[in-house]
Amino acid sequence: MSSLIPFWYIVIAILWTGFFVLEGFDFGVGMLHSVIGTDEAGRRAAINTIGPLWDGNEVWLIVAGAAMFAAFPGWYATMFSAYNLALVLLLASLIVRGVAFEYRGKRDAARWRRTWDVLLTTGSVLAPLLIGVALAGLLHGLPINSAQNFTGSFWDLLQPYALFTGVTLVLICLLHGATFLCLKTTGDMRERSWHVARRVAPFTAAFVIGFIIWTHVTASTAFFLNVIELLAVLAVIAAVWLVYEHREGFAFAATTVTIASCII
């Protein structure tokens, strides 16, 4: 039975990685759709780039949670007890985000669409932020007693490392979404997507490098970075260079590797 523990842990890691690689650019598009699309037609075009994808990509999140429950029920129960309020906010952001895709076009009124656009942007920011805080808190450590019960308060969850990780994931998703929009749009929208990617890329690189160093200090006793950590650093540096070189396809591949290696 002990051999199943690393097997299931690897499966769960793959599921979380798949979720962020695929849903990451969905989050990024959700954050950027009002910036890239300066009018209703532009915002609709931005949303349409992920229209056939976003709901399917979220299946990875459901399966990741189910795998945690099936393989490690104690871990699952402790996590959901500790992060009760944060996970309620996460569910609310995912629900509002999904509803916004469907409802923003139900009425031909500017205020109606503007409201759903704000909710879509807010949900797209909160989801990676809260998931990052939750996963990083588990790695950094939470106050848990011998019965696996959480003994802290909500404020114990807002550790500096966890918050930094959440912001890092938001920035990676932002860059991931910007490079995706560069590939899926044309004309002025493509040019605006590229300009956003250029502005976001240096900040993303700085946060990813900081995240990798902090994670290494937190979770490793070795002096040098391991292969995955080094891959994350090299991938985000490559992403910055490729964005500035206007090579969006390779830049999107680099952001894919960046987000995958950070989650792993």
pLDDT digits (tens, 9 = 90+) for 67-81: 999 999 988 888 888
Among 7-11, 60-64, 118-122, 153-157, the range scoring the smallest mean pLDDT is: 153-157
> In this structure, how many other beta carbons lie within 10 angstroms of the beta carbon of residue 26?
25
Q: pLDDT digits over 38-62, tens only?
A: 888 888 888 888 887 777 888 898 9
Q: Which residue has the tokens 């308060």?
A: 153
**CATH number for 61:** 1.20.1630
pLDDT higher at 263 or 40:
263
Percent of all residues in the chain with a pLDDT value above 90, rounded to a whole number: 55
Per-residue model confidence (pLDDT) at position 74: 87
Q: How many residues does the chain have?
A: 264
pLDDT at position 140: 86
Distance CA 158, CA 94 (A): 21
> How far apart are alpha carbons 47 and 41 in whole angstroms?
10
Helix, strand, coil share (%) of the chain residues, nearest 5? 80, 0, 15
Q: Which two tokens stand for residue 112?
A: 């109606």
Which H helix or E strand runs over 136? helix 110-140
pLDDT(158) > 90: no
pLDDT at 31 over 90: yes
> Total domain count for the chain?
1
Q: What is the mean pLDDT of the chain?
A: 90
Structural domain harbouring 195: 4-263
Q: What is the pLDDT of residue 245?
A: 92
pLDDT tens, residue by residue, 192-214 = 999 999 999 999 999 999 999 99
pLDDT band at 1 (very low <50, low <70, confident <90, very high): low
Least confident of 21-30, 105-114, 127-136: 105-114
Q: Are 238 and 205 in contact (CB under 8 A)?
A: no
Alpha carbons 190 and 237: distance in angstroms, whole number: 22
The radius of gyration of the chain's CA atoms, rounded to the nearest angstrom, is 19
Please compute, for residue 230, the number of CA atoms within 13 A of its CA located in the half-sphere on the CB side.
5
Query: How far is it, in rounded angstroms, from Cα 238 to Cα 202?
Result: 11
CA distance readout (Å), 225 to 94, 141, 149, 219, 255: 34, 21, 33, 11, 20
Question: Does residue 116 carry a pLDDT above 80?
Answer: yes
Evaluate if residue 226 carries a pLDDT over 70. Answer: yes
Classify burial at 40, counting beta carbons within 10 Å of its beta carbon; exposed 0-12, middle 13-18, buried 19 or more. middle
The span from the first CA to the last CA of the chain, in angstroms, equals 24
Helices assigned H by DSSP within 37-83: 40-48, 54-57, 59-71, 73-82
Please state the rounded mean pLDDT for residues 170-186.
94
pLDDT in tens, 232-256: 999 999 999 999 998 989 999 999 9
- Tokens describing residue 226: 């391991």
Residue 138 C-beta-side C-alpha neighbours within 13 Å: 16
Is it the case that residue 2 has pLDDT exceeding 80?
no
